[in-house]
Structure 1
Amino acid sequence: MKVLVTGGAGFIGSAVVRLAVSRGYEVVNVDALTYAACLDNVASVSDSPLYAFEQVDIRDRAGLDTVFAKHRPDAVMHLAAESHVDRSIDGPGDFIETNITGTFNMLEAARKYWVETGKPESFRFHHISTDEVFGSLPNDPAIKFTEDTPYDPRSPYSASKASSDHLVRAWHETYVLPVVLTNCSNNYGPFHFPEKLIPVIILNALAGKPLPIYGDGSNIRDWLYVEDHADALLLVVEKGEIGRSYNIGGENERTNLELVKTLCAILDQKRPKSSGSYADQITFVTDRPGHDARYAIDPSRIREELGWRPSVTVEEGLAQTVVWYLDNEDWWRALQQRHGVGERLGVKA
């Protein structure tokens, strides 16, 4: 199978690219190489005869048509997106252009290619989205997001992703484009861009800086190890039912404060300070505007229909992640020089 992966130099996309190549897929990585992308993320497969890279922006429809005609993929895995909630608060325009208009361009380029190749039944357009489109949950373990949860996005980021989900479903209903959709919980793991919570905590801890926690740290997230997510995504593009959506979660709910304390304990063990604990650096800061209280996914459908389960607990995954950052200082130091990294964003609302 030849798979066209958009955003394949990003965090989740690069995990998909690495895993797909290791499993013998032909992979075409389409990425505009914006601030959060890094080709070092796919360096381990870049010399493989199964791998090809095209620097194309999904807002460039003509460029996308050229890529489809040149590479003739069997499936599309559409991951390219602006994804940082704080950046969406400061500058929503980029999120509208990339996540909505870019997805429209991808759908139209894929539809044109699909029609011109005789509408092969094996073709798939897999749209990868987020659980944030469902809004916020109460603190009740019995209530979780399912595939039937009504959409209720609360940030410019989640609203743009909700819009893209609706476009994908409309193209399936109107044009019969063979699509599958997935909505995932918060990802973490190797190659996570250093503006997101977990790498911020790890790198600030090592630098002796405050460990910022929004509000009182009670916000709850369901954490999914990125390599588990990549495994689930490849399973869905191969075996998912056309027109169906699948929620992918790690079944690892933790408050932000619990998560940060776990990271501190791991760092205390792996690279102890000369005195005290990294937890001494925890600092509570002004909360994010409109900060959703809780996300939690019910992954019953993908478990029961496709047999997928996460392979690691959050404690196991976090330990692996900390070790990766300790061993890959050259990678993250270079990215810390990029625009906005290390600054508090999302406070202009």
Structure 2
Amino acid sequence: MTTDVTPFRIAVPDSALRDLRRRLEATRWPDAETVDDWSQGPTLAYMQELCTYWQHHYDWRATEARLNALPQYRTTIDGLDVHFLQVRSPHPDAMPLLLTHGWPSSVVEYLDLIELLIDPPDPADAFHVICPSLPGHGFSGKPAHTGWSVGRTASAWATLMARLGYTRYGTHGGDWGSWISAALGSTDPDHLAGIHLTMPLAQAPEKEVELDARDRAAMARMTSFGQNRSGYAAIQSTQPQALGYGLSDSPSGQLGWILDRFWSWADHDGDLEKAVSRDRLLDTVMVYWLTGTATSSARLFWESFGKEPMNPTSVPTGCSVFPKDAWLPRAWARERFRDLRHWRDLDSGGHFPALEKPAVLADELRTFFRLVR
């Protein structure tokens, strides 16, 4: 077993980009939706517009260069190659902060945020940032066997931080990153200074708790999600392999599957690109397409969705909840997170705050971690 940490650089061959353009040119389109909204999924007109832009104007090389301008590494943990960014602050006393992305996302989601965190106006707020790619996502390895669940990933992250020499660190995440960051509260509590979440998760308490108006609204949103918007999760948690054949073969298919989540979860008034630019959206899709991780990333749902315990933790916790992502009652969160030191309901933003509102998220991280430094 090796504990080596080796530098990594992204180098997508030109042939892969030519193949992408060829496939986009040959897209076989479905018939148009029979409604005048997105209730059946992305509209044909917008999909065709985006694919035309993707084929003729989008520049992957710019994003590749931006990633390669940051220190990237790979190391083997529990038999799996883990890719990560490690961007040190110029301030030596900065706090190590582990950022974990979710699905459908990648380390690209955090690029703007990293710049804000490493060198803030007040050096006391600085962070050294460690940002890994989830197993089966992006430039990490694809598990060849079952077992890579949220819990196992949290254990791998604890190993990663120890391997890098960090004995006290903070953690942040949204989506799967929230699951994993919260799991670290019971996996590695002795080394965690604090947990920050944008999508806090907790089970219904065994005892009856009082719900205020905000909590009741969150419960209604949770019910709506379960009834109307969780089809993607049902498919990925039961049939990831069946889904993967189409997404791995068709770039328009991969785009449509991810675009549907951005439309549903970002905070916008019918114009998605006001929340997330088309280039950043296509960056996200490209990471999945170029690495062929549509299937391996979906398997995290198969491994974990509805199966992972939500253990309580006494590690200090902060929650910054954006309105398009607000569905957990605070009363439930208090039962799981026994030292809930910060909770703020923001007035705008959605499921991808590092893309939608990076400055707001950076300020929230600074605010919370000032309480535990």
TM-score, length basis structure 2: 0.27
Q: Which has the higher helix share?
A: 2
TM-score, length basis structure 1: 0.28
